[in-house]
Amino acid sequence: MVIDATLYDDPTQYKCLAGALQYLTVTLPDLSFSVNQLCQHMRAPTVSHWEQLKRVLRKIHAFSDSDWASCPKDRKSTSGFAVFLGSNIVSWSVKKQRTVARYSTEAEYKALAYVCDEVTWIVSLLHEIKVSDYHFVRDKVAAGDIQVNFISTKDQLADIFTKSFA
C-alpha cells in the first residue's frame, strides 16, 4: 500500500468532515475507532488521510419493501426502507402510502421512490460537505446513479418495517 504523505490542500474541509463523523459516533459506536484514528491528524492531514476519511463514507446501501394493501380499512399499502452508510443504518422509515396501489408491483415501486428520494437527499448532503464520490427512480437508474436489485424475502432487511411478526 502506497501512502501519500502530501499535505491535503483543504484542512478545513478535512476537519469539517471528521467532525461530522465524530458526531455520528454517538449513535454509531462501531465508527469510533476509525474516526478517532483519523481525528488524530486534524492538525496536518495528508492526502492519504483524506482518502481514508472518505472510505468511511464510501458506500450507501438502501433496502425498500412494501406490504401491498396491508390496511384492511382503506387497502392502502405500507412502505418501509432502511439506508446504510457502510454497515451502519443512517436512515429508516415506515409509512402508509398516500394512494391505493392497484398491484403489488405498484406498491413496491412507490416504496422504491421513497427510498430513492431519501438516498438522493443523503447524496446531496454528502456533496454539500464536499464528498463527491457518490453517484426519481427511472431517471436515476437510467443515469447510472442507482442500481436496483432483487432481494429475496429471506434476505430483505426492510421487511421488518412492513410485515407483522404474528
The pLDDT tens digits of the residues spanning 151-161 come to: 888 888 888 77
CA distance 153 to 127: 33
CATH 3.30.420.10 placement within the chain: 60-162
Correct CATH for 60-162 of 3.40.50.1980, 3.30.420.10, 3.40.50.20, 3.40.1160.10: 3.30.420.10
pLDDT at 27 over 70: no
List, in sequence order, every residue forming a beta bridge with 96; answer none if it has no partner.
78
Distances (CA, A) of 69 to 52, 96, 100, 102, 121: 45, 10, 7, 9, 28
The pLDDT tens digits of the residues spanning 6-15 come to: 999 988 888 8
Please, how many CA atoms are within 13 Å of residue 66, restricted to the half-sphere of its CB? 26
